[in-house]
Amino acid sequence: MKYRSTRGDMELQPFSDILLEGLAPDGGLALPQSLPRIGAETLESWRALRYPELAAEVLGLFITDIPKSDLSRLTQAAYHTDAFASSEIVPLKPLSKGLSLLGLSEGPTLAFKDMAMQFLGQVFEYVLDKRHASITILGATSGDTGSAAEYALRGKRGISVFMLSPYGRMSDFQRAQMYSLQDRNIHNLALKGVFDECQDIVKSLSSDLAFKSAYHLGAVNSINWARIAAQVVYYFWGWLRATSGQNAGHAQQVSFAVPSGNFGNILSGHIAREMGLPIRRLVLATNENNVLEEFFRTGVYRPRSAAQTYATSSPSMDISRASNFERFVFDLVGQDADRVRELWHELEQKGEFDLSAMQPDFEARYGFVSGVSTHADRLDTIRSVHRDAGLLIDPHTADAVKVAAAYVEPGVPMLALETALPAKFSETIVEAIGRPAPVPEHLQELASLPQRVEVMDCDARLVREYIKQHA
Instruction: Give catalytic residues, as residue numbers.
Output: 113
pLDDT band at 8 (very low <50, low <70, confident <90, very high): very high
Closest CA to 251 of 449, 39, 459: 39
For residue 235, what is the enclosing H or E element? helix 225-242
The SS3 assignment for 103 reads coil
Pick the CATH number of 92-110+226-433 from 3.40.50.1100, 3.90.1300.10, 3.30.360.10, 3.40.50.360: 3.40.50.1100
List the alpha helices (DSSP H) in 308-374.
325-332, 337-350, 359-364
Cα 324 to Cα 140, 226, 374: the distances in Å are 14, 13, 23
pLDDT given for residue 354 in this prediction: 98
Residue 303 makes CB contacts below 8 A (sequence gap 6+) with 196, 291, 320, 321, 347, 351, 352
Give the 3-state DSSP-derived string for 277-295, with helices as H, strands as E and coil as C.
Answer: CCEEEEEEEECCCCHHHHH
Please state, in angstroms and rounded to a whole number, the distance separating the CA atoms of residues 246 and 88: 20
pLDDT band at 74 (very low <50, low <70, confident <90, very high): very high
User: pLDDT tens digit string along 304-347?
Assistant: 998 999 999 999 999 999 989 999 999 999 999 999 999 999 99
| Domain ranges within the chain, ordered by starting residue | 92-110+226-433
Cα 192 to Cα 167, 189, 459: the distances in Å are 5, 10, 9
User: pLDDT tens digit string along 242-295?
Assistant: 998 765 455 799 999 999 999 999 999 999 999 999 999 999 999 999 999 999
Burial 381-415 (b: 16+ CB within 10 A, else e): bbebbbeebebbbbbbbbbbbbbbbebbeeebbbb
Cα 77 to Cα 20, 50, 56, 185: the distances in Å are 20, 13, 11, 21
pLDDT given for residue 120 in this prediction: 95
The SS3 assignment for 112 reads coil
Please state, in angstroms and rounded to a whole number, the distance separating the CA atoms of residues 131 and 375: 48
Cβ neighbourhood burial of 59 (10 Å; 0-12, 13-18, 19+): buried
Please state, in angstroms and rounded to a whole number, the distance separating the CA atoms of residues 69 and 66: 8
User: pLDDT tens digit string along 199-221?
Assistant: 999 999 999 999 999 999 998 88
Q: What is the mean pLDDT of the chain?
A: 94
Give the 3-state DSSP-derived string for 122-146, with helices as H, strands as E and coil as C.
Answer: HHHHHHHHHHCCCEEEEEECCCHHH
- In this model, does residue 373 exceed pLDDT 60? yes
Instruction: State the DSSP code for 91.
Output: -
